[in-house]
Structure 1
Amino acid sequence: MTFEEILDQALAMLQRRGRVTYRTLKRQFHLDDNAVEDLKAELIEAQRVAVDENGKVLVWTGGVGMPPAPNTEPEHTPRGYTPAHLAEKILTSKSALEGERKHVTVLFADMKGSMELLADRDPEEARHLLDPVLERMMLAVHRYEGTVNQVMGDGIMALFGAPIAHEDHAVRACYAALTMQASVKQYAAEVQRSHGVPIHIRVGLNAGEVVVRSIGSDLRMDYTAVGQTTHLAARMEQMAMPGSILITPEVLKLAEGYVQVTPLGPVPIKGLPRPVEVFEVMGAGPVRSRLHAAVARGLTRFVGRDAELEQLRRALDAAQNGHGQVVAVVGEPGVGKSRLFFEFIHSHRTHGWLILESSSVSYGKATSYLPVLDFLKRYFQIDDGDTTQRIREKITGKVLTLDERLKDAIPPILSLLEALPEDDPFRSLNPLQRRSLVLDALKQLLIRESQRQPLLMAFEDLHWMDSESQAALDILVESLPTSRILLLTNYRPEYEDHWTPKTYYTRLRVDPLPETDVDELLEALLGNASSLGPLKALLKERTGGNPFFLEESVATLVETRALAGQRGAYQLDHDLHTLQIPATVQALLAARIDRLPAGEKQLLQNAAVIGTDVPLALLQEISDLPEGDLRLRLAHLQGAEFLYETRLFPAPEYSFKHALTHDVAYGSLLHERRRIVHRLVAKAIEARFADRLSEFSEALASHFERGEVWAKAVHYHLRAAEKAKEQYAYQSAVRSCTQALELAAKAQDIDEGRVRGLVLLGDLWSLLGDVERANQSYDQALLASTDPAMQRWISNKRQRQHRAIRDRAKIAFYEYGSGDVTLVFVAPTLMTVASYELVVERLCQEFRIIRIDPRGTGASDPRPRSYTRQEHAEDVRAVIEASGAGRIVGVGISRGGTWMVSLAATHPSLLQKLVVVSSNPAPSVMYSQLDWVDEVRNLLREGKKEQALRILASIALPEPGTDHLIEEFVRARLSLSTDALLNFYEPDPEADIVALLPDIQVPTLVMHGTADRRAPMEGGRYLAEHIPGAQLYTFKGKGHALAFTATSEFCAVLRCFVRTGTLPATVDAAW
């Protein structure tokens, strides 16, 4: 406790009792002589509420010459016995506490048989003996910041975790119980000697949930227990023997190791269907942190991951031989990325290596170099208790011992660890110079260390890494090839590194465990009892092979006594049909937030509603505070490390230190207040950024949704989906669109929004190549719309699947749109039918459109390994004939252009016009001349399909802003077989169409990008020059995928050529 808290409690004790010995104060508050003198001075001289009597006793005066001040609150109310500092905390923040769902530990304590013992004594004398016992109980509760909610004759009821949150509420309650037992035993010994009356207390505890409904001005809390939370605590107290403390399994699982217990076995409890295990607390335990507790529990068996371990071993061997390596392990949370590192690092393979481990944390992005600082402290063996001078000595000594030539690296490293002397010249450098020297110093230090001994560096959770640490890592990676460093990193799928082109880089995907490994893990956790079969099947189904979820689910089953026995030998206690997946408790930050002054806490909560990044202008608008007050409170929150000022220009912006602080601050808000603040934030964004609403569409969608303004939430979710679509982030767009449609059901009079959302969703599924889902969305839109024109527009988007048969093989094609001209699109295997969906989407209202699945793709039959250009052309002919279409314009994209040229040469009457896009007349010659083709072939032969596809995607899409499109390109083609991909690049002289070009009589348009690396521009020019009468249109600075990266221009040129046979004077004119 702080001195102020001790003073408050001493004042309360002295006021109630009138006289208190110094000896009692020392024992009660664990004070030394100096602290007692300070307390005397404050009470006697400063507060003037007490006088000294013979140097042994403090006597209450209520002020010099004044009688004792009366307590304005009745003693039977919580306000009457709650210390001022706790009362103030509760009252100043009670509005934010009311309505909260809190995890708490409930404590009951009373004096067993006290009334019987004192029945023959004068009531005043009896009260004089019993009040000090209640006082000691309450002091113990308040010492650990619990709240006494009721005083019941000779006992109390207290809560830990509400109304003031504590992440260790069970531990605090146990320590309070031990403290009150020890204090009462001391007092009881005095009473036994002076009055011959034995006094003992008994204590019972249980943990669970309560919903705090209201808090009165007298601090009385109206709450509702969830389940048996309060009832079980009271039963524990009633069963306890005098002088003992009983707890339930719910308390023990939260305080295990922190206290020593003796199990008393299962005890029947009235009102409960099964007996409850009861434990007696014997004293404090050895554990003082969660880490110690986790180590004490022990790790489960490590299963599977043999292939992943082997890849790590190969990288280790290469690095040891002077060929530094980077291995990135990627996987969803809980799949075992960290466990994989743990097992590898602690294997015999790493003996003789210097191992440095660090990890990013969810709250670290606003703190520069956070994981770097972590590994530097490990490397230099810096302890938390080291003084600045000691830190300097450790760093300087180690660096100079390593290599005196590294002396210039010492100031940058000292600056990172905040140990740089004030007069060091390094401080006079500008920020860019300092940053450059810091990054260079880190690189030099590690490279030199690796020359002395091989170095294994493990950086975990890169998805939370701050930009400066990322820069340090990137620079280190550039220097790895000739070092003896193995850099291990792991991250979640949403993170993207930039090291893929490096030959010394390996990306290792860790997925949920396959079924055989899940079976092995479950046998290790549960055992092999035949009765566990259904439970194991349920666990596999519900957890999807995620090892973390499996372990936590089993732990919950054990805690809830659904399983009996011990690890590896459990028996199912009763049938289970559902599983409770445990939630992670994040009460640590709730406790810190509760300690803030009310104004700062409210400001932090308002900031949390805005988001993890908090523009000052928005915060000021919704907080309604003068600028000076706002900045003062923000300064306090910065000082307490809740917020950081992350940007000054063009406008100040703050960020939460980490996401956990944000989540807990947000979660502590009342639902009604949360809704109101979200509305305020949304309206403020609309007003301040009226000309940039698209930029803020995601934020506005979220705020209006949480503010329950459903119509606007739908509107902005759809805008966010449209924006994501424009950025080729189709998966993100689907999520926004789906959310809009879910919210549309809650809104009124927004049928138009629902139709708009369904059509957009259909377009997105089309872009993702999912025809079935696309048509389902269009069908729903048709049902939702009552406008005939809108229905025709939607119908034109529906994809009607057909098939043509040639030589008994099925060629699938899709027909949609309407019009007097039919555009037939065909593209090769690598392009997929969705590759020109953006073009089709814009043209289907005025043209009938057919697009083809070439043999070996989509719904068409597989193709033989050897399948010639002419056979593809015949497939196109079969589709055209099966469609019954007239006035055909053939549009061949990439190698599909050679098929269309071949068709035009052999069946000229089928095509009215011909359009050849991003094609080359001699693929066999072209592929022999392009430097990347051999690299792709080699990667495919080595089984590195994804890496090969990424190279192909980067070549096809060189334009900036296509990152999402590249990812979609790779995702959509991973299902293609390696043979199919290799076959695409095999030399095939029959694929060349040079000899056919002079015979083409169909009006032809050649469209080509000037920056096309996959089919260089020279091929487009050759086609235009050698096809009689052909016209050439070039797309300046564009690559191979023109339908995606130049959609509007592409459609304008194509439309003009189809309608007029000419090129547009300008693109705008074509529209």
Structure 2
Amino acid sequence: MPADLQANGGRPIVISCPGCRQRIAAGSRFCTFCGAKIPDASEAVADRRIVTVLFIDVSGFTAMSEQLDPEAVSHIINDFFHVLVDPIYRYGGVVDKYIGDAIMALFGAPVAHEDDPERAVRAAWEMQVSAQEFSLNLERQTGIGLKVRIGLNTGLVVAGAVGGSQRADYTVIGDTVNLAQRMEANARPGKILVTSETYHPTKHAFLFDPLAPITVKGKSEPVEVYEVVGPRPRAFRAVEDDIRVVGRDAELERLEDAWRRAKAGKPQAVLLSGDVGQGKSALSRRFLSAIRPDARIHGARCLSYEQQTAYALVGNLLLGCLELPEFAPSAQIAAHLRQFLSGIFPDDAGLADRLGHLLGLQPERPDMRSLSPRQLRTSAFLALNDLIVRLASQGPVVLSLEDLHWADDASLEWIRSLLDRLGGAASDCPVMVLIQARPDNELHAPELDGPLAFMTIALRPLDKASSLDLGAMLLGATLGALSPQ
């Protein structure tokens, strides 16, 4: 008799799929519902990992239960949970469990990503936005509104199968979970509360209000907490004035040479390639800091969870130009876009419709509404390239595109069209396209070759002397204080 049946008198032990949460027979290698690979139980029991835990609780559920028919309440709460759960899975998380009118979700287990805290906060913010829209509609129909409180914490957990011989569920346990639940309990309705462990890895992407530390049962010291204000505008990240890089003088000189050629009117495209942690971002920021007085810098970053989102990179680039956050209402985006373009193309009223397609806006002009999706895409790319060339006519332009290994296919197509346009441009087109990507090149698209070829700068590991210099700089020590070993 198989081992998974012997332990239960011949009856199969039931476990939960860590992906879709459906119950399946223990010992299964793949989920029969979603096809996910099922981790071996022996591996899952001792799996220690860093996870961001999210708790969300519905406020107003009790009042609604008292005033409405139970069947109506059931339909409403199911619809509400569907709205709330969607962002969790879209950002790579999983629902761990439903606890009455609360949900516990995980980011980092069973599948880990390098930006799980950011994914979790983005999901939480989108859940709040969706909850507010749902509540407004519900209030118009029933006179009753719902709000949600969300709490997040990031830390070490033990992940694996927890349960008895007849049923075991994949979950996580540890103090990290308890503290996340305390964050939810202390959050105001309609707000998101996070610990410092979640705040620090996400403060580059979100604005926070620091609140007074709170006392938590089981903690000897008050806990630092932060309330999420909203996403930062996706403008190009501020370029610091004093950025030190170590062992990259030759690479920096090549960037500066390319910039001199671009500033002289000869378009340039540079691919900065390097593994994680080899200093692509630091080198790029150091270069951009040096040229900032002479350049108009626009930039955008590809995000790992947006690889399947058409125009993600292009949209982020345009939102940055407009200095708008990613969740800005469509009406606000349209108004900012028209205002931004009025000073650059005062005689082209249709340009806003063409560029608006890249931001998910519906065209207003009848001639634009009659175009096919392919025609809309081509028209939008031409419009964006026209905008870049026009901006360059007012002064040198640098486009900094980060983490291209996560770019969506549509945005890659735009980059190819831009390079074709720049490669065929007449003289005096001062544009430099600076792209960062990993050498393993996870791009599922043809190489970005064209009339304007890339100059590739491949970052290699630092030599021993440069590594010691870097260590001294990061530790705030002197070389003499470091062991030569």
Q: Do these two structures clear the TM 0.5 threshold for a shared fold by scoring above it?
A: yes
* Contact 2:402–2:435 (8 Å) recurs in 1: yes
- Cα 1:169–1:215, aligned 2, differ >3 Å: closer, same or farther? farther
Any idea what the Cα deviations from partners look like across 1:645-699, whole Å, max 9, x if unmatched?
Answer: xxxxxxxxxxxxxxxxxxxxxxxxxxxxxxxxxxxxxxxxxxxxxxxxxxxxxxx
**CA distance in structure 2 between the partners assigned to 1:479 and 1:433 by the alignment:** 18
Distance change (3 Å), C-alpha of 1:371 and 1:290: closer
Alignment of 1:392 onto 2:334: yes
Alpha carbons 1:462, 1:489 under 8 Å: kept: yes
Q: State the match for 2:17 in structure 1.
A: none
Indicate the residue corresponding to 1:353 in structure 2. 295
Alpha carbons 1:260, 1:284 under 8 Å: kept = yes
1:159 alignment partner in structure 2: none
Choose between structure 1 and 2: higher strand proportion.
Answer: 2
Deviation at 1:375, TM superposition (A): 0.6
In the alignment, structure 1 residue 169 sits paired with structure 2 residue 149:
no
Specify which of 359, 363, 370 is matched with residue 428 of structure 1: 370
The alpha carbon displacement at 1:425 in A equals: 2.4
Could you say which residue in structure 1 is the equivalent of 2:157?
A: 209
- 1:524 aligned to 2:473? yes
Question: Which of 498, 514, 517 is residue 463 of structure 2 equivalent to?
Answer: 514
Q: For the residues of structure 2 that align with 1:394 and 1:486, how far apart are their CA atoms?
A: 26
The alignment status of 1:84 with 2:137, answered yes or no, reads no
512 and 387 in structure 1: CA distance in 2 versus 1, 3 angstrom threshold: same
Q: 1:83 to 1:325 in 2, by over 3 A?
A: closer
Aligned position for 2:276: 333
The residue number in structure 1 matching 2:264 is: 321
Distance in structure 2 (CA, Å) of the matches to 1:45 and 1:408:
50
Task: Count matched residues.
Answer: 327
Matched with 2:409 is 467
Larger radius of gyration: 1
| Larger helix proportion of the pair | 1
Match of residue 457, structure 1, among 355, 375, 399: 399
2:162 maps to a residue whose letter is S
Out of 486, 495, 512, the residue aligned to residue 432 of structure 2 is: 486
Structure 1 residues 446, 524: CA separation in 2 closer, same or farther (over 3 Å shift)? same
The 8 Å contact of residues 415 and 448 in structure 2, kept in 1 or not, is answered as no
- Aligned pair 1:376/2:326, yes or no? no
Inter-partner Cα distance in structure 1 for 2:224 and 2:173: 28
| 3-state SS in 2 of match to 1:404 | coil
Task: State whether residues 356 and 379 of structure 1, in contact with CA within 8 Å, keep that contact through their aligned partners in structure 2.
Answer: yes
Distance 1:391 1:285, change over 3 A: closer
**Do 1:337 and 1:490's aligned partners in 2 also have CA atoms closer than 8 Å?**
yes
Asked if 2 retains the 8 angstrom alpha-carbon contact of 1:211 and 1:224, the reply is: yes
Q: Residues 91-117 of structure 1, C-alpha deviation per residue, up to 9 Å, x if partnerless?
A: xx9xx9xx9799xxxxxxxxxxxxxxx
Task: Tell me if the contact between 2:153 and 2:197 (Cα under 8 Å) persists in the aligned partners.
Answer: no
Q: Which residue of the partner structure matches residue 117 of structure 2? A: none
- Mapped to 2, the partners of 1:422 and 1:285 lie a distance apart of 41
Question: Structure 1 residues 447, 532: CA separation in 2 closer, same or farther (over 3 Å shift)?
Answer: same
Gaps of 5+ in 2: 1-53, 72-97, 113-147, 180-194, 201-207
Task: After TM superposition, give the deviation of residue 424 of structure 1 in Å.
Answer: 3.3
Does the C-alpha gap of structure 1 residues 340 and 414 become closer, same or farther in structure 2, counting only changes over 3 Å?
same
- Structure possessing the higher relative contact order (Cα contacts under 8 Å, 6 or more residues apart): 2
Q: Identity over aligned residues, as a percent?
A: 21
Number of the residue aligned with 1:716:
none
For the Cα contact (< 8 Å) 2:419–2:452, is it kept in 1?
Answer: no
Aligned to 1:673: none
Question: Which residue identity does 2:222 align to in structure 1?
Answer: V
Given that 2:159 and 2:173 are in contact with CA atoms closer than 8 Å, whether structure 1 keeps it comes out as yes
Report what 2:483 is aligned to: 533
Cα deviation per residue 1:140-199 (whole Å; 9 max; x = unaligned)?
A: xxx867xxxxxxxxxxxxxxxxxxxx8x325xxxxxxxxxxxxxxxxxxxxxxxxxxxxx
Secondary structure of the structure 1 residue equivalent to 2:305: coil
Q: Describe the superposition over 1:362-416 as per-residue Cα deviations: whole angstroms up to 9, x where unpaired.
A: 3333222211111111113334464333322222232232123544433221122
SS at match of 2:416: helix
CA distance in 2, matches of 1:532, 1:290: 41
> Amino acid of the residue matched to residue 311 of structure 1?
R
* Alignment-mate amino acid for residue 473 of structure 2: A
Whether the aligned pair in 1 keeps the contact of 2:273 and 2:439 (CA below 8 Å) is yes
Helix, strand or coil at the partner of 1:357: strand
Query: Relative to structure 1, is the Cα distance of residues 279 and 320 closer, same or farther in structure 2, using a 3 angstrom cutoff?
Result: farther
Show CA shifts across 1:1008-1027 (max 9, x none): xxxxxxxxxxxxxxxxxxxx
Gap change, CA 1:523 and 1:291, over 3 Å in 2: farther
What pairs up with 1:743-892 in 2 under 5 angstroms? none
8 A Cα contact 2:354 2:363, kept in partner: no
The residue identity in structure 2 corresponding to 1:326 is A
Instruction: Determine if contact 2:319/2:326 at 8 Å carries over to the other structure.
Output: no
Mapped partners of 1:224, 1:373: distance in 2: 36
Distance 1:411 1:85, change over 3 A: same
Q: Could you tell me how far apart the structure 2 residues matched to 1:318 and 1:223 are?
A: 56
CA distance in 2, matches of 1:468, 1:101: 26
Residues 93-242 of structure 1 aligned to structure 2 (within 5 Å): 168-169=152-153, 208-211=156-159, 213-215=161-163
- Pairwise mapping of residues 274-289 of structure 1 onto structure 2 (< 5 A)? 280-281=221-222, 284-285=225-226
CA distance in 1: counterparts of 2:285 and 2:313, whole angstroms: 18
- Look up the equivalent residue of 2:221 and give its one-letter code: E
Amino acid at match of 1:409: L
Q: Which residue number in structure 1 is paired with residue 59 of structure 2?
A: 6
Q: Which residue is equivalent to 2:66? A: 43
The letter for the 1-side match of 2:298 is L
SS in 2 for 1:434: helix
| CA RMSD after TM alignment | 4.7
Distance 2:232 2:323 in 1: 20
Shift of 1:486: 0.9
Mapped contact 2:295–2:395 kept (Cα < 8 A)? yes
**TM-fit CA distance, 1:506:** 1.6
Cα distance in 2 between the residues matched to 1:412 and 1:438: 5
* AA of the residue aligned to 1:84: G
CA offset at residue 216 of structure 1?
7.4
Contact 2:301 2:401 in 1 (8 A): yes
User: After the TM superposition, which residues 1-40 of structure 1 pair with which residues of structure 2 at under 5 Å, given as runs?
Assistant: 5-8=58-61, 10=62, 39=63
Cα distance in 2 for partners of 1:2, 1:222 equals: 17
* 8 Å contact kept, 2:472–2:482: no
Change (3 A) 1:253 1:417: closer
Deviations 1:770-789 (A, max 9, x none): xxxxxxxxxxxxxxxxxxxx
In structure 2, relative to structure 1, the CA distance for the partners of 1:434 and 1:517 (3 Å cut) is same
Which amino acid is the alignment partner of residue 511 of structure 1?
R
Note closer, same or farther for the CA distance 1:423–1:447 as it changes in structure 2 (3 Å cut).
closer
Mapping of 1:968-983 within 5 angstroms? none
Give the aligned residue type for 2:58: E
Q: Which residue of 2 aligns with 1:312?
A: 255
Find the counterpart in structure 2 of residue 202 from structure 1: none
Question: Unaligned regions of 5+ residues in structure 1, if any?
Answer: 11-38, 49-81, 103-142, 146-165, 171-206, 234-250, 263-277, 538-1071
